[in-house]
Amino acid sequence: MGANEEVQDTPGAPDLNVSGGEVKFENVTFAYDPRRPVLKNVSFTVPSGKSVAIVGASGAGKSTISRLLFRFYDVNQGTISIDGQDIRNVGQSSLRAAIGIVPQDTVLFNDTIYYNVAYGRPGASPSEVHNAAKLAKIHDFVLSLPDGYETMVGERGLKLSGGEKQRVAIARTILKAPPILLFDEATSALDTHTEKEIQASLGEVATGRTTLAIAHRLSTVVDSDEILVLEAGEVAERGTHNGLLAKDGLYAKMWQRQQDATDQDELAAFDDKPNTLDDLDLDPDRDRDRDAGEAAE
């Protein structure tokens, strides 16, 4: 039955033995439905302690790569290995213990903020939990709440913003301190300030760890050791940021498009200031019409 069946441990499968945390995809082909391949012959290596970023259009198969690494599904062809061990041949709990995921959509438990962070490492002390929250740049925000760390979050509690939820997930991952990290950047637009804070938090946790980062905003991948551009399930381009810009292909186009969009956003961020050069033309009716005009663009 394939896709929806839970992947099973081979009886007696040994635990994953992590030395450096090298992640290797070799000719990985995968389909949720056999009639529609999602990944085709994908190969890459994240050397121990290095970072690889995956970029590409929505639906290209980026999150699928992270689901396969976490072994929610098994590959149809090819191999995924960590430090030379095929992940199909090791116990799932040991595999998952070695990987920290900051997912695209963080789902929090209907419990306190403290519980949600502490979940990263059962038995962590309160000062370890607070430290992780500090590194994730969420501690001061939590202390500003009337109930502090005892604030209930989730469906029946305080609704955190996308960025706040993500920082809780980052704090949880910092506490877990796994050798391998997997970031699936949120699609939802974060404001520039929050994005910078989250990037700083991620940088904090990624230092010295093997990192696979799925990114929507290219500004977050410029320092990656290698960038893969995934197109319709295939690696279309690969290289460093500068190498890919020099190639003047897909990546360079995406970069240019995002630079243009960022320039627009930054202008728009100054709400009370002129949005465009045209706004300097002080026609009293312009401001009133502006929002409607932008919405139509």
Ligand X SMILES: Nc1ncnc2c1ncn2[C@@H]1O[C@H](COP(=O)(O)OP(=O)(O)OP(=O)(O)O)[C@@H](O)[C@H]1O
Q: Enumerate binding residues for ligand X (CB under 6 A).
A: 32-33, 38, 58-64, 104, 187
Q: Check residue 262 for interaction with Mg ion (CB under 5 A).
A: no
* C-beta nearest to Mg ion: residue: 63
Distance of CA 203 to the CA centre of its chain: 12
Identify what 23 binds: Mg ion, ligand X, none; CB under 5 to 8 Å per kind: none
Min dist CB 111 to ligand X, Å, is 27
By a kind-dependent CB cut-off of 5 to 8 A, residue 142 interacts, out of ligand X, Mg ion, none, with none
124 in Cβ contact with 175 (< 8 Å): yes
Question: Do 102 and 166 form a contact (C-beta atoms < 8 A)?
Answer: yes
Nearer to ligand X, 65 or 90 (CB): 65
C-alpha 228/C-alpha 251 separation (Å) is 9
CB of 104 to ligand X, least distance (A): 6
Which partner from the list Mg ion, ligand X, none does 275 bind, CB cut-off 5 to 8 Å by kind? none
Residue 59 interacts, among Mg ion, ligand X, none and using kind-specific CB cut-offs from 5 to 8 Å, with ligand X
The closest alpha carbon to 9, from 126, 88, 97, belongs to: 88
Q: Tell me how far apart the alpha carbons of residues 208 and 215 are, in angstroms, rounded to a whole number.
A: 19
Rounded to whole angstroms, how far apart are CA atoms 297 and 276?
14
Give CA–CA dist 216/196, Å, rounded: 14
Measure the CA–CA gap between 39 and 48, rounded to whole angstroms.
24
Q: Name the residue nearer to ligand X (CB basis): 63 or 77.
A: 63
278's CB contacts (< 8 A; 6+ apart) are 286
Residue of 227, 197, 196 lying closest to 211 (CA atoms): 227
156 DSSP assignment: T
**Closer CB to Mg ion, residue 63 or residue 85?**
63
What is the spatial distance between Cα 228 and Cα 221, in angstroms, rounded to a whole number? 10
The answer to the question of residue 103 lying near Mg ion (CB under 5 A) is: no
Complex with ligand X: residue 60 or 108, whichever CB lies closer: 60
User: Nearest approach, Cβ of 57 to Mg ion (angstroms)?
Assistant: 11
Residue 61 touches which member of Mg ion, ligand X, none, C-beta under 5-8 Å by kind: ligand X
* 215, interface contact from Mg ion, ligand X, none, CB < 5-8 Å by kind: none
- What whole-number distance in Å separates Cα of residue 101 and Cα of residue 164? 16
40 or 134: whose CB is closer to ligand X?
40
Residue 75 and residue 241 in contact, taking contact as beta carbons nearer than 8 Å: no
Tokens of 80: 């995924």
**Number of shown-chain residues binding Mg ion (CB under 5 A):** 1
Nearer to ligand X, 174 or 228 (CB): 228
Q: With respect to ligand X, which residue has the nearer C-beta, 29 or 94? A: 29
- Which 53-82 positions form the footprint of Mg ion (CB under 5 A)? 63
Is residue 85 a contact point for Mg ion (CB under 5 A)? no
> What is the nearest approach in angstroms of Mg ion to the Cβ of residue 12?
35
Q: Which two tokens stand for residue 48?
A: 């121990």
**Partner from ligand X, Mg ion, none binding residue 32, C-beta < 5-8 Å depending on class:** ligand X
Residues of this chain that bind Mg ion (CB under 5 A): 63
